């Protein structure tokens, strides 16, 4: 089976850096994905790590350690539009298993 | 930019009625999925579909649910006899196989 743990809420000021952690337990693992979801909107794909290490995509970076069953998403130079929920999702053979998400609130 | 499209955006139905939710995945993607999200909760996997058949389904996807790819572009989720607890946002997603999945804007289903 799969289970994912994410802390629940973070508040940060514009321009700050936020790190969102994710630990997982799964019987089948192909990679760890990150998704952003604004209230009432669809999950939007941010990044995917299949191998250990850091992936950088603009202001967002994602890290994976397969041996520790752990990953994180780093949001840099926070902007107001980054206020959203962020989900990690384990990619298994045929499905994504989502964590409960982390609400990020960006304040001026 | 290619996107997954879903119709309708909202659907209100009476308990016991059948509903069909429709999706047009991204055209060159091979894997198709349905997820649902009950208000305030996490996204839950329902079913995945590849090569014209179900590749995996969750415990939520019971006999009341079915999926179909009736032609080369559409991907549908049917709920045969809706229950109050089926009220949720239903998301269709598609994937090329590796990397991320791309989600549609969802259908908000309300069962009354």
- Per-residue tens of pLDDT for chain B, all 112 residues: 789 999 999 999 999 999 999 999 999 898 999 999 999 888 999 999 998 899 989 999 999 999 999 887 899 999 999 999 999 999 999 998 878 899 999 999 999 9
Question: How far apart are the C-alpha atoms of B91 and B34, rounded to whole Å?
Answer: 6
Nearest CA-CA distance, residue A17 and chain B, Å: 24
Q: How far is CA B102 from CA A48, A69, A72, B29, B112, in A?
A: 12, 24, 20, 10, 30
Chain A contacts of B104, Cβ < 8 Å? 42
Residue A85 exposure: Cα atoms within 13 Å on the Cβ side: 22
Q: Report which of A87, A59, A53, A84 is spatially closest to residue A74, judged by C-alpha positions.
A: A59
Residues in chain B: 112
State residue A5's pLDDT score: 66
Chain A contacts of B48, Cβ < 8 Å? 94-95
For B84, phi then psi, to 5°, come to -55, -40
State residue B42's pLDDT score: 86
Mean pLDDT per 10-residue section of chain A, whose length is 108 residues: 67 95 85 92 93 94 95 96 93 81 93
Q: Report which of B77, B34, B93, B72 is spatially closest to residue A43, judged by C-alpha positions.
A: B93
């Amino acid at each position: 089976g799969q289970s994912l743990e994410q802390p629940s809420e973070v508040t940060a000021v514009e321009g700050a850096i936020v790190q969102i952690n994710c630990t997982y337990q799964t019987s089948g693992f192909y990679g760890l994905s990150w998704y952003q979801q604004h209230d009432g909107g669809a999950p939007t794909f941010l990044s995917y790590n299949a191998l250990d290490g850091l992936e950088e995509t603009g202001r967002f970076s994602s890290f994976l350690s397969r041996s520790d069953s752990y990953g994180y998403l780093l949001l840099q130079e926070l902007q107001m539009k980054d206020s959203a929920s962020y989900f990690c999702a384990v990619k298994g053979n045929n499905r994504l298993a989502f964590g409960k998400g982390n609400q990020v609130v960006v304040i001026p | 930019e290619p996107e997954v499209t879903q119709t309708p955006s909202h659907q209100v139905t009476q308990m016991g009625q059948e509903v069909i939710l429709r999706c047009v995945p991204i055209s060159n993607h091979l894997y198709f999925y349905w997820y649902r999200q009950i208000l305030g909760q996490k996204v839950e996997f329902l079913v995945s579909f590849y090569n014209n058949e179900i590749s995996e389904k969750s415990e939520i996807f019971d006999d009341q649910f079915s999926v179909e790819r009736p032609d080369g572009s559409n991907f549908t989720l049917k709920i045969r006899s809706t229950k109050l607890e089926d009220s949720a946002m239903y998301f269709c997603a598609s994937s090329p196989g590796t990397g991320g999945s791309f989600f549609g804007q969802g259908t908000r289903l309300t069962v009354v």
